[in-house]
Structure formats: structure tokens, C-alpha cells
Chain A
Amino acid sequence: MVRLFSMANDSKKLQMDSRDKVVVTPIFSVFQSEPEMRPILEAFLAEIPKHIRALEEMHKKRDQAGFRKLVHQLKGAGGGYGFQAITITATALEQNMDRGDDWANTTAAPLRQFLNVLLSAHQGGKQSSG
């Protein structure tokens, strides 16, 4: 079962919270078997908890410009690193940002989906390296 998680400080905490347990299904990069991609893929995955924290923080503080920029960067990079799901959910998130004035509310649900995908990628990365 996959449940969407609530705000948290890092991915470990997200998985360990017993009151609202999050079960993450790992996803893997389609390029994970390419040796030339491995170093940057590992670096990309290692940065994911930082991106999650930044997105949550900016969303909470209603920092629309910073939030939009990071979503856009991850949208552009996700598929390039072999995670098409990141690009797809980031696109949905971007589209929701353009709907209406209350962007923070309209993006709450797609943000959860996006963060879940990021976390799934991070989890997949941990499994691959571990």
C-alpha cells in the first residue's frame, strides 16, 4: 500500500513515523545500469531529501518563485536522470500552480504526489546501492 506522507524533516522520518506510517514503493532509474551515469545518479538521489525539505519549506512559507523554480528544475532533470515519473508529477504540479490565485492550496495534493515520487526514487536509490 502506498500512502502519501505529511510534512517531515527527512525521508527517514517519513518512513518511520508510526502514527502515520508511510509505505514507499521504490522506483528505479531506467539508466541505473549505465556505468557512466552511476556517479551523477547517486549524487542526484542523495540530494533528494534536501529538495523535499526545500519544497516543503517554500510551500509552507508561500515562496512561490523559489518553489516554482525548484519544481521546474526537477521537472527538466527528472527524465534525464531516468525518472520520467518525476517529470510527469512535476508537470502536473506546475499546471496546478497556474490555476487560480491560491496556488498553495491548489498545489497541496499534486505536491504530495510529487514528493512521494521523489521519495520513491530516493528509496530505489538506497536499495540499489545498499
Chain B
Amino acid sequence: MYDENQLPRLLAIDDSELIHKLLQVRLQGERLELHAALNAKDGLKLARDLNPEVILLAIELNEMNGFELLSRLKQNPQTQDIAVIFLSATNHMMDRVRGLDLGAVDFIAKPFEVVELKARVRSALRMQHLVKMLEHRAQIDSLSGLWNRRYFDQRLSQEVNEGLRHKRPLSLIMCDVDRFKRLNDQFGHPFGDSVIERIAHILSAGRGSDIACRYGGEEFGVLLPSTSLERAMEVAERQRLSIESQVWVGHPDLVVTASFGVVDIQSLSETATSADMVAAADSALYRAKQAGRNRVETVHGIRSPESTGQST
């Protein structure tokens, strides 16, 4: 995930210790974290584990050459966007062309000039920073400021896969504003927008590890990694109470409520997908709506305390 405060990571993959030592000295003043791999296998593993912004890649490596390694990086969605710069003593024009055609962003000839090396690395890091910033912005919902649907789908899929593989708890809350259309019709769309904003704020103000997203319209999804169903139910209940207790400027008697469907990964089969998890949470949400709204429900019928608030 994009983090502006994270020091950029540079991974050097080269089978020469001499080059790694040289890079360590020559790049020590740069604002980056330097990692080293002495062979292609370790390089691929580190690329996956570290997800560095830039890789400096030698062409001549033992088990596979740099071109093959680059192709593998490009085939893997996890590593395909890493900027790769070839760093090679093989200074043939056709090698440079082949490298660039395979997706490398630059080519530095060995032995390298220090100022040129630094400038090219900085240039690649700048480009990566911009790309990641754009990617990040493309995943943010403009009204609520929460992660958008695209990010939700992607992250849920990733969390479900990891949760099933490592048998790690994972819960999902789906939340839908009750009678939202009526609010819009009665008080106007700007008010509807302010409801979305306020609820988004409540859903994202919880625990730092929770991931609040706008699923679409007046529906939200909150991913709770490493969280049991019982704990997720408590979180949802707290959010429900908070929404219910909001005071709305210009409408002091109005009570806006929301319904919640909660599900955890353990209640699904071992071959469940993210779509199955959303379907189960939606089904719990439907139960909450059917049971009178302003409630927290799960697929198995565990229910939050009866609400005392007035549903709109």
C-alpha cells in the first residue's frame, strides 16, 4: 500500500559482491533503503517480500539472466509495477533495446558514473512516487474520503486468500444507511452527501487496522483483519450507536440510522472467495433490514441489543 512516509526501497540484484559494496558506499547519502540479492532466486523472493520501488538488475546472473528475471517480475501482479533499471557491463545496443522492450525503465552501463547512477535512481524513484500517488488517488472515494469499491474488491480478495491460507481470522461488516432515498428526497442531496460524509467518518474512526470503504451509494464495507466475529459484532454495534446518536444541524429531531451485516471467514467454506464473503455479509444485512433496520445481524442470527432509536 502507498505510504508517503515510507523510505523508498531499492533492491540491487547482481552476482558480484564488488558491485553491492560499491552501491552501498555510493548510495549511502541517498534517501532510500538499499537491499541486496546475489542471485536471481533470492532477487525474485526479495522483490515479492519487499515490493521495492526500484530494482537495479544485472543481466548476467547465474540461474537465469536478467531478461528472464524481468519477465517473471512482469508476469506477477505483485511485482509487475516495480521500476527496473538494468545495470550491466554488457553494453550492447541490442541488450539495451531488449531490456527496455521487456519493460525496464532505464539502463546504466557498468562501470557507472556515481552522479549518473544517483540521478537515474532518483528519476526512477520520482516516477514511482507519482505513479503510486496516482494509484492511491484512484482508489479513494471523492465524497467520503474512504477507500473506493475498486480498492475494497482488491483488498478483500487479498485478505480472504491470506486468511484462508494462514487460517487467520477475518471479518467483514457491510453497512447500509436506512431509508437514504427518503433523506435525500426530504432534505435534499447536499444533506444526503453530509450524511455519507459523517457516516464515513464514524466508520473510519475506529481501530487503525480496520479498512473502511465506500461500497457504493449509501453502502459501506469495513474489513477487519485478524478479528473474530464476536469482536466485529461489537465494533459494528458501536458504530450503529454512534450513527444513531448523531445530531444533525438544522434537523435537531432527526435520527439517521444504519443497518449492519457482519460475517467472518470461519463461517465460510475453505474454498470461499471474496464474493462469497460479500454475499454472506449482504445476506446478514438483509436480515437486519427485514428485522426492522437499525440493527446488527450476522448470517447465523446473532443479534445486537434492540435499538431504542427512531429509524428514519
Residues of A within 8 A of B (CB): 36-37, 40, 43-44, 69, 72-81, 84, 87
Contacts and interface: CB of A to CB of B under 8 A. Distances in A.
Interface stretch (B16-24, B74-82, B122-130, B139-147): B16-24
B25 interface: yes
B28 A77 contact: no
A43 B21 contact: yes
Interface in B1-22: 15-16, 18-19, 21-22
B89 A72 contact: yes
B107 to A, nearest CB: 14
Nearest to B16: A73
A79 B21 contact: no
Interface in B106-124: 110-112
B19 A76 contact: yes
Nearest to B90: A72
Which secondary structure dominates chain B's binding surface? loop
Interface residues of B, number: 18
Which secondary structure dominates chain A's binding surface? helix
A77 B60 CA distance: 14
A43 B25 CA distance: 13
Top-6 shortest CB links A-B: A79-B111, A76-B89, A76-B110, A77-B18, A80-B111, A73-B16
Given A75-B89, A76-B89, A76-B111, A81 B25 contact: no
B89 A36 contact: no
Nearest to A34: B25
A80 B117 CA distance: 11
